[in-house]
Structure 1
Amino acid sequence: MSQNWTFVCATGELLPGEMKSVFDEVTAVPILVFNYDGDFYALEDRCSHEEFELSSGVFDAGEATIECVLHGARFDIRDGRALCAPAYSPVRKFPVKLEHGGIWTRDDRD
């Protein structure tokens, strides 16, 4: 498990309704960070259906969902759960912390 946090951006650079992708500095896993009404969430930037990057999709800030552009699978950004076919497995959720005026995340898998 990575103990190193990856800097995403300054808190003021990711406004409500926006998302930003980064790579975990240790594991090189792509992570997508969302600002949902001032709360920050992070998911692996990879659809669980076909491993396509979710960052190419549409973040619906009203519904707190991300839709994969490849086949239309939707996921809840707050917990990563799949909301419709063709995805049945959740997307991996990662921790987010706010520190020193920045947003940080990390791949916390063992």
Structure 2
Amino acid sequence: MTQWIDAAALDDIEDEDVMRFDHGGRTFAIYRVEDKVYASDGLCTHEHVHLSDGLVMGHVIECPKHNGRFDVRDGKPLCAPVCEKLATYPAKVEGGRIYIEV
């Protein structure tokens, strides 16, 4: 069963940035790009490093360990060494709060 989880205030994250959100024993990454929000698993599929320590450039998150990149909109791997897609989740803003569906 999926549910919408209140993850953070929109003001907690700047444009073109990423933040970590832990819930239910899992780690997620929440991105804000061009005033839209996106969410994915919080660990890189290559070495399981926290993506919240990475760099956001447009719709791309770069892993801080080996510089692998993913598209935050759909989790598609964009360059080596990552080759496995990153799981993504619906995200929305309501009343100044970010919600993700997990």
Alpha-carbon deviation of 1:2? 4.1
What secondary structure, in the 3-state scheme, does the structure 2 residue paired with 1:34 have?
Answer: strand
- Aligned-pair distance for 1:9? 2.0
- Given that 1:47 and 1:68 are in contact with CA atoms closer than 8 Å, whether structure 2 keeps it comes out as yes
Aligned to 1:13: 12
Instruction: State how far apart, in whole Å, the 2-side matches of 1:100 and 1:76 are.
Output: 27
Task: Provide the TM-score with structure 2 as the length reference.
Answer: 0.87
Matched, 1:87 2:82: yes
| Structure 2 counterpart of 1:96 | 91
Structure 1 residue runs of 4+, over 3 Å off?
none
**Structure 2: segments with no counterpart, 5+ residues:** none
TM-score (norm 1): 0.82
Greater shift in the superposed pair: 72-81 or 9-18 = 9-18
What is the alpha-carbon root mean square deviation over aligned residues?
Answer: 1.5
Matched, 1:76 2:75: no
Q: Give 1:66's aligned residue.
A: 61
Q: Which has the higher strand share?
A: 2
Identity percentage of aligned residues: 30
1:52 aligned partner: 49
Q: Structure 1 residues 28, 2: CA separation in 2 closer, same or farther (over 3 Å shift)?
A: farther
Q: Which runs of 5+ in 1 are unaligned?
A: none
Q: Could you report, residue by residue, the CA deviation over 1:20-78 in whole angstroms, capped at 9, with x for unpaired residues?
A: 21112xx32111111110111101111011111111111113xx111111111100111
The separation in 1 between residues aligned to 2:79 and 2:17, in whole angstroms, is 22
Number of aligned pairs? 102
